[in-house]
Amino acid sequence: MAFTEAERLAMARALELAARGPRGRNPQVGAVILSPSGVVLAEGWHRGAGTAHAEVDALSHLPDGAAHGATAVVTLEPCNHTGLTGPCAEALLAAGITRVVYAVDDPGVASGGGAERLAASDVDVAPHLLRDEAAAFLEAWVTSFRLGRPHVTVKWAQSLDGRGAAADGTSQWITGPEARADVHRHRAAADAIIVGTGTALFDDPALTARIDGELAEHQPVPVVIGTRALPRRAKLHDHPHEPIVYGTRDLQSVLADLRDRGLHRVFVEGGPALASAFLEAGLADRLLAYVAPVLLGGDRLSVTDIGVGTIGDARRLRIDSVTTLGDDILFDARFRERRAWPDSSAAPAAHTAPEEGER
């Protein structure tokens, strides 16, 4: 598919615009309207459920007729349904748009199909410009949309021999400063950050996102799972958000509650028992494994039992990137099998999601 330089720049701009929208139930979407010669005519973005979609927001800045023969560049395939607002495909046609460039297909059964609708009316539809960037940006929304639960990233730091702590349980600073800074960037991108009470008691983590020593603009809500009480002096109590404490081990109900609170990007930070519980339940979408060139030996592993009794049951992942961070290496991987809710009307029981690109 051929794209012009103006379209590439417009898509990069549309992704920036998308990020201005709130991280809520609806996707964050951006749009740019280009004249036939590639001049930016208008910009728009989606401000959350019930408000205008990005394309309609962009078109609303133009006088009638000004978009005739123009190109719409959108980060998500224009929708084809009447939800809380009308179908964008029809709005683009009514405005006289003759070319639509978009990044990611709309995964919705009802909302999808906008590309076909537009093509059927002789609009030149060019999909998948900057798809990888846009898909990464929309990953959490696509997961919550498809699986009916928040997107879960499990993170751990490990020694080269797969240990998560030394024999006495100490585990801070397995990895170096570059890797730890990277963890804080991921924290800042999350809506909630979960630890077990064991970690909360033993490590006394602050669970804030800090960039260059300063609190990041966006702070994830700290969440503690387990039955032991937090000491009153725990650092967690100084977090800008009041910690949420769940005295249950039922991860389904925890995720359901986080979803109902509008927290769709969950970052699981430890320890091994909690990470293993998410893995065993099939409730992990992404793994960030920071591997340090140290050996610890002993029996404190990064992951414990995850219900794999035989090699055929091994949890398989796809590695998306391997990055050197100082002396350490980050494996960023996606789980091949993921589970939705067993009890959800939004998705079938123990549903196994096909991999991205296999749908």
The reply to whether 194 sits near ligand AOF by the rule CB under 6 A is: no
The reply to whether 43 sits near ligand AOF by the rule CB under 6 A is: no
Q: How far apart are CA 216 and CA 73, in angstroms?
A: 31
Across-strand partners of 80? none
Q: How far apart are CA 205 and CA 326, in angstroms?
A: 23
Query: Strands (DSSP E) along 160-237, which ranges?
Result: 192-196, 210-211, 214-215, 221-225
Number of residues that bind ligand AOF (CB under 6 A): 18
The reply to whether 92 sits near Zn ion by the rule CB under 5 A is: no
Name the nearest CA neighbour of 302 among 153, 194, 171, 168: 171
The reply to whether 79 sits near Zn ion by the rule CB under 5 A is: yes
CA angle, corner 40, sides to 37 and 42, nearest 5? 135
Q: How far apart are CA 30 and CA 17, in angstroms?
A: 5
In whole angstroms, how close is the CB of 45 to ligand AOF at the nearest point? 7
Q: Cis before residue 282, ω within 30 degrees of 0?
A: no
Q: How far apart are CA 340 and CA 290, in angstroms?
A: 27
Q: Which of 7, 43, 105, 106 binds ligand AOF (CB under 6 A)?
A: 106
Q: Which is nearer to ligand AOF, 104 or 195 (CB)?
A: 104
Q: Which of 88, 123, 268, 275 binds Zn ion (CB under 5 A)?
A: 88
Q: How far apart are CA 94 and CA 108, in angstroms?
A: 23
The reply to whether 29 sits near ligand AOF by the rule CB under 6 A is: yes
Q: Are the C-beta atoms of residues 130 and 262 closer than 8 Å to each other?
A: no
Name the nearest CA neighbour of 274 among 293, 295, 241, 246: 246
Among candidate residues 7, 55, 77, 269, the one labeled active-site is 55
Binding track over 82-101 against ligand AOF, x by CB under 6 A: -xxx--x-------------
Q: Among this protein's residues, is 355 annotated catalytic?
A: no
In whole angstroms, how close is the CB of 128 to ligand AOF at the nearest point? 16
Q: Interface residues for Zn ion in 27-66 (CB under 5 A)?
A: 53
Binding track over 278-317 against Zn ion, x by CB under 5 A: ----------------------------------------
Q: Interface residues for ligand AOF in 112-141 (CB under 6 A)?
A: none
The reply to whether 275 sits near ligand AOF by the rule CB under 6 A is: no
3 state SS of 292:
strand
Q: Which of 17, 23, 27, 129 binds ligand AOF (CB under 6 A)?
A: 27
Span near ligand AOF by CB under 6 A; candidates 8-16, 103-111, 146-154, 349-357: 103-111
- State the binding partner of 108 from ligand AOF, Zn ion, none, CB within 5 to 8 A by kind: ligand AOF
- Which residues are CB-neighbours of 286 under 8 A, at least 6 positions away? 139, 151, 152, 153, 154, 332, 333, 334, 335
Residue labelled with tokens 């800042």: 188
Q: Interface residues for ligand AOF in 46-85 (CB under 6 A)?
A: 46, 49, 53-55, 76, 78-79, 83-85
The reply to whether 258 sits near ligand AOF by the rule CB under 6 A is: no
DSSP string covering 121-133, please?
TT-EEE--TTHHH
Enumerate binding residues for ligand AOF (CB under 6 A).
26-27, 29, 46, 49, 53-55, 76, 78-79, 83-85, 88, 106, 108, 111
Enumerate binding residues for Zn ion (CB under 5 A).
53, 79, 88
Catalytic residue annotation: 55
